[in-house]
Amino acid sequence: MNKVVYFLCSVLALGCNYKHRGLPGASNSIEESKSNGHFIAEYYVKDSFLKTDKNYKAVVKSAFLERQWRYGNFKGQTIPDEGYHFMVEFQDGKVINYPMRFTIGIDPKNYFCPYGRNTIICDMDSLPKGDSIEWVVQQYYTFSESEAKVIIGKAVLFKK
């Protein structure tokens, strides 16, 4: 009898959490994001993406915002999730030593981390306000509250 009750409770618990099934996903391109129905907006660079007192260069190939999503139970199925992904793809194939020399973002909940060889991704809880979005760029990779952050510039993108 205990096994039957345990089985039924397990089925109910999994069934009630259907929205959060599957592994988290992120689109590899604007086209993929649009075809999956998660695309929100495209962004571009006016002068330079990285404006720092160091000589860091990064040529942006594409930048876009999409709704976070998870893989579904069936091939090709995606399930919308809470939050947003901001993706930046670089033209030169990679950002040299990112995030070892510098990090875009100073908040451990809102910073860019590597996503493949030539892309970085930032998870966001809410949509950006206005037609531009800006992140602080810090030297190295420091998120500890007790360590001082060395701010070396900013990263800026504009909504198309």
Residue 153, both tokens: 């510039």
Domains of the chain by residue range:
21-159
Instruction: Taking residues 119-133, report their average pLDDT.
Output: 90
Give the separation between CA 121 and CA 110, rounded to whole angstroms. Answer: 10
Q: First CA to last CA across the chain, in angstroms? A: 61
Question: Each residue of 40-76: b (16+ CB within 10 Å) or e?
Answer: ebebebeeebbebeeebebebebbbbbbbbbeeeeee
Query: Which of 18, 37, 19 is closest to 27 using CA atoms?
Result: 37
Residue type, 135: W
pLDDT in tens, 30-89: 999 999 899 999 999 987 788 777 777 778 899 999 999 998 877 778 888 899 999 999
pLDDT at 7 (0 to 100): 46
